[in-house]
Structure 1
Amino acid sequence: MNVKQAKKLDKPLSRKHTFFLAAALALIIGISQAIAAVGIVADPVIGLNDPIMGSKHDFTGLNERAGVNAMEGVAFTDYGNPCVYCHLPPEEADTNSELLGGIEGWNRFAPAEEQYTPYTSASLDAQLRTPASISLLCLSCHDGTMALDMVIFKPGGFKSEDDAALHMRMNSANALTSCGKCHDGFTAHDISPKVLGTDLSDEHPISIQYGGFNWRDRDFKLPQQASGFSNGVRLYDGNVECASCHDVHNSTNELLLTVRREILCNTCHTK
């Protein structure tokens, strides 16, 4: 290095160089904060490219889809990430959520199991059970008894003073705490088709043993594997659950059905 080059290095940075340096630092800091935020609330199994992002189960994007500002912060609390409405944050993955009044393995409080009236029939051979945790997860919103934002662990950095929503419940009642107050088919789209309620006697049975294993019941088909059928209809510990027929993460079918309606029933039933 000669003297001329050395003197160049001693010169202070120009305004242009200072601006670009500050912009680069801001970008680095912003990316770091974004990565840290995702690490706090994102479930390890769910990536940011998951189809649930932007779907009807993405509660962080309802205002954008509806074109109004009546959802997050008013009807329910926006926690900034869709995962935490169902999934435990990674730092709480080993926590027994049942001890905190939650659903085992999930980040939602448990509805009262005894409130449900299950499906029954004279021709039903399988033993009726209370809903298992994976179906309780769905019912905790769709039975209309609990608010959509009733999570056990709120994401890191969330401030309690930001939690000022009405905590509306997904039912059809004309009440200030009910989604049906606006979603009546006139003011906004009708929410009643999405509401199961607690009377499940007219619904497909859930948390019930599948009858097709070992050909115990000839009315049901034998699955290709213990976890269910090759078309995506799943069994959970040999039982039929909500998630057997509905797939909130990957389905593009109506009602988030695992397969198209016209072939769904014939997947399991012989007639």
Structure 2
Amino acid sequence: MKRYALIIGFVSTVMGVGTHATAGPGNVRFTKHNLSNNMDVSKGLPIGAGADQRRIYSLEVDQVCIFCHTPHNAQPVMPLWNKAMPNQTFNLYTSSRSLTPTARSASLPAGSVSLLCLSCHDGKTAINVLHNASQISSMADNGIDKIVDIGGDYDNAMGGFPSPPTGGISLGIFGGFGEYPSNMGKTDGDDFAGNNLADDHPIGFSYTAAQGESNDRLRLPEDVNTMSSGKIRFFSPNNSVECSSCHDPHVNYTVGAGTPAGDPALKPFLVMSNVGSAMCLACHNK
């Protein structure tokens, strides 16, 4: 038990979350990030239409965590990641005159925490290609990764869904009649980031360095920690601002019959409520 505790602590430290409070009601089974084949509402968010319901799900795999994590042979090793990392170039928000020089020079190098999120949300990297999986439909072209069947409908947010699901994820008109295109990433909606992040909050820069250049327009890191109750996170090695500074993919914000109570104020996957701009003002001294 001690050995496992040490491993978990090491992963937490590397990811920059070792001393922080949890973001909220963390029950990933009741979020859209649960891609498992689960029709039982008592065990996870149900499949169906509506903004807070799962529209994408495996046809066979009943494990929840496997779509992001694996306990063995992970790539990258931290945090035991089970997916290919995107290798494309991302355009970041760097044009505003109000940004500090550090923020204007932001980048997402290999190993960036934000690339974990973008390994699904880049609209290109296949969400159903995993390093390790037991219930697979075929092997990937590299002869190493595994492909698992996915059902549902990305593009029809309000449409009905067959039960059990049939075919593949829709990518545009008719979705290839169930065929899996090579770029099976999301094609529309807020949860599709793509490679152009120029209209999103800056990521990939040192908050400590930016704060030092900000003429007190940004709060000291210790004040951010106090104002957010430790929920806003900066990541090693240089207190970097990343997607996970403000978002937690495990947060349950769903409220529905038969499901554990989530916190609607944490939608979409926020680490803390932004009512009254509380999360924004934890960093920005306005």
Shorter chain as denominator, the TM-score bin is 0.5 to 0.7
With 200-209 and 77-86 compared, the bigger mean Cα shift is at: 77-86
Contact 2:273/2:279 (8 A) holds in 1: yes
Output aligned runs, 1:107-122, within 5 Å: 107-114=82-89, 116-121=90-95, 122=97
Indicate the structure with greater helix content.
Answer: 1
Task: Give CA-to-partner distance per residue, 1:206-234, whole Å, 9 cap, x none.
Answer: 12111478744221111228988524010
In structure 1, the residue matched to 2:122 is: 143
Instruction: Supply the distance in 1 between the matched residues of 2:115 and 2:154 (Cα, whole angstroms).
Output: 15
In structure 2, the residue matched to 1:268 is: 283
Task: Give the counterpart letter for 2:197 in structure 1.
Answer: L
Instruction: Supply the distance in 1 between the matched residues of 2:224 and 2:74 (Cα, whole angstroms).
Output: 27
Output aligned runs, 1:200-239, within 5 Å: 200-211=197-208, 215-217=212-214, 218-224=216-222, 229-237=228-236, 238-239=239-240
Task: Give the counterpart letter for 1:265 in structure 2.
Answer: C
Task: Give CA-to-partner distance per residue, 1:129-177, whole Å, 9 cap, x none.
Answer: 125432111111112112222211114xx354696736899679xxx76
State the shift of 1:236 in Å: 0.5
1:249 and 2:250 correspond:
yes
Output aligned runs, 1:2-151, within 5 Å: 51-61=27-37, 65-67=46-48, 71-72=56-57, 76=58, 78-88=60-70, 90=71, 92=72, 95=73, 97-98=75-76, 105-114=80-89, 116-121=90-95, 122-124=97-99, 125-126=101-102, 127-130=105-108, 132-151=111-130
Instruction: Report the secondary structure of 2:113's partner residue.
Output: helix
**Normalising to structure 2: TM-score of the pair?**
0.58
Task: Give CA-to-partner distance per residue, 1:88-117, whole Å, 9 cap, x none.
Answer: 2x2x1xx4625xxx9874111011232x11
Instruction: Supply the distance in 1 between the matched residues of 2:59 and 2:115 (Cα, whole angstroms).
Output: 21
CA RMSD of aligned residues (A): 4.0
In structure 2, the residue matched to 1:34 is: none
**Normalising to structure 1: TM-score of the pair?**
0.60
The 1:215/1:130 distance shift into structure 2, 3 A limit, reads: closer
Number of residue-to-residue matches in the alignment: 204
Contact 1:247/1:258 (8 A) holds in 2: yes
Task: Give CA-to-partner distance per residue, 1:155-207, whole Å, 9 cap, x none.
Answer: 4xx354696736899679xxx76455589xxxxxx951211111111111112
The 1:77/1:138 distance shift into structure 2, 3 A limit, reads: farther
State the shift of 1:257 in Å: 0.9
- Rg larger for: 1
Indicate the structure with greater strand content.
Answer: 2
Contact 1:247/1:257 (8 A) holds in 2: yes
